[in-house]
């Protein structure tokens, strides 16, 4: 089964006005907006969809009060889509839209869908030129300074789940996702939807409390300077940092998480590991969220607002 990436994420929004502003400020392009909801796109065409709590055309929440409703994965061909339909219809209800999109619930009650989707591939998005001791890419020119992040794509999505074994069997064994890494003792797993891919597209943590929770969605930007510049700009618009910026030891990516008014968090990230069939999964014994991170963002010189002193590191 050939997947092309994370196509869409659907939320019910407690406050549609706040949700609209949040995802617009995040740097996504609003492509539709009406009484039934709003749709925002990344540069390759993947979507964030927000709908009012009263909307009827949504999958049920995995638990009461949960605003995440569904993730839809892109599939490369009709034959692969038919394989997925056959596999999943053997033990669960699968509905099919007029455009062929499949919808069902996964073993933890999360809404999950599959549809034909080819991401845009002709984007010209050069990163910031880097000067190092041994090589100079930028000569006689000032470096790029980003005043706004413009997310390229949704790189991965994460959840906290009560039944991680069932989730792994569903996505890895039945759908063909690849294992990238795991924490020892079944604490968390990192999966990717293709053999050759960024380090992970689906991140799942075991819930000690036995509940289900949406964790975050990560949006890739061009380089570390866009993580910093975009994060500072987003902070100045009044949105609260969850944790960051920082760098993950697993995936090697730079990050900055912000609190999502719909639920959980969103993340700017860049410079993730890229792995292939030759990658050997690690079994990490220590759960290290970051190599380093700032607790509550970066305060620019002209920002006079006070910063909270409480630590946010334990939330992720």
**pLDDT value at residue 308:** 54
* CA 292 remoteness from chain centre: 21
Q: Enumerate the β-bridge partners of residue 214.
A: 159
**pLDDT value at residue 299:** 82
Torsional sign, CA 181, 185, 187, 193: positive
Q: For residue 2, what are the CA distances in angstroms to 5, 172, 195?
A: 9, 13, 9
Q: Are 241 and 257 in contact (CB under 8 A)?
A: yes
**pLDDT value at residue 315:** 47
Question: Residue-wise pLDDT tens for the chain (316 aa)?
Answer: 699 999 999 999 999 999 999 999 999 999 999 999 999 999 999 999 999 999 999 999 999 999 999 999 999 999 999 999 999 999 999 999 999 999 999 999 999 999 999 999 889 899 999 999 999 999 999 999 999 999 999 999 999 999 999 999 999 999 999 999 999 888 999 999 999 999 999 999 999 999 999 999 999 999 999 999 999 999 999 999 999 999 999 999 999 999 999 999 999 999 999 999 999 999 998 888 999 999 999 987 877 666 654 444 444 5
- Find the Cα–Cα–Cα–Cα dihedral 260, 204, 85, 78, rounded to 10°: 70
Report all structural domains of the chain as residue ranges with CATH numbers, in order of start. 3-120 (3.10.180.10), 198-315 (3.10.180.10)
**pLDDT value at residue 287:** 80
Tokens of 79: 């034959």
**pLDDT value at residue 312:** 42
Per-residue pLDDT tens digits for 66-99? 999 999 999 999 999 999 999 999 999 999 999 9
Torsional sign, CA 282, 288, 291, 294: positive
Hunting for tokens 């055309």 — which residue is that?
Answer: 57
DSSP tally for the chain: helices H, then strands E? 4, 20
Q: Are 231 and 298 in contact (CB under 8 A)?
A: yes
């Amino acid at each position: 089964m050939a997947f092309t990436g994370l196509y869409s994420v659907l939320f019910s929004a407690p406050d549609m006005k706040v949700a609209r502003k949040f995802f617009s400020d995040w740097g996504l392009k609003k492509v539709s907006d009406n009484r039934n909801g709003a749709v925002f796109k990344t540069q390759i065409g993947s979507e964030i969809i927000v709908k009012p709590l009263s909307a009827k055309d949504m999958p049920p929440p995995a638990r009461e009060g949960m605003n995440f409703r569904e993730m839809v994965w892109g599939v490369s061909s009709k034959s692969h889509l038919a394989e997925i339909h056959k596999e999943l219809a053997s033990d669960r209800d699968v509905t099919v839209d007029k455009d062929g999109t499949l919808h069902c619930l996964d073993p933890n009650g999360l809404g999950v869908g599959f549809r034909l989707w080819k991401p845009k591939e002709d984007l010209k998005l050069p990163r910031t030129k880097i000067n190092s001791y041994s090589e100079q890419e930028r000569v006689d020119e000032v470096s790029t300074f980003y005043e706004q992040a413009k997310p390229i794509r949704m790189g991965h999505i994460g959840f906290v789940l009560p039944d991680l074994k069932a989730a792994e069997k569903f996505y890895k064994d039945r759908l063909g996702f690849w294992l990238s890494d795991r924490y020892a003792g079944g604490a968390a797993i990192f999966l990717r939807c293709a053999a050759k891919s960024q380090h992970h597209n689906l991140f799942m943590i075991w819930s000690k409390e036995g509940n289900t929770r949406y964790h975050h969605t990560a949006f890739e930007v061009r380089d570390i300077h866009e993580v910093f510049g975009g994060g500072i700009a987003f902070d100045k618009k009044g949105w609260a940092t969850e944790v960051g910026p920082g760098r993950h030891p697993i995936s090697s990516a730079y990050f900055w998480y912000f609190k999502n008014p719909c639920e959980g968090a969103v993340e700017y990230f860049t410079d993730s590991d890229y792995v292939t069939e030759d990658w050997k999964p690690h079994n990490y014994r220590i759960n290290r969220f970051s190599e380093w991170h700032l607790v509550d963002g970066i305060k620019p010189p002209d920002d006079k607002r006070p910063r909270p002193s409480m630590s946010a590191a334990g939330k992720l």
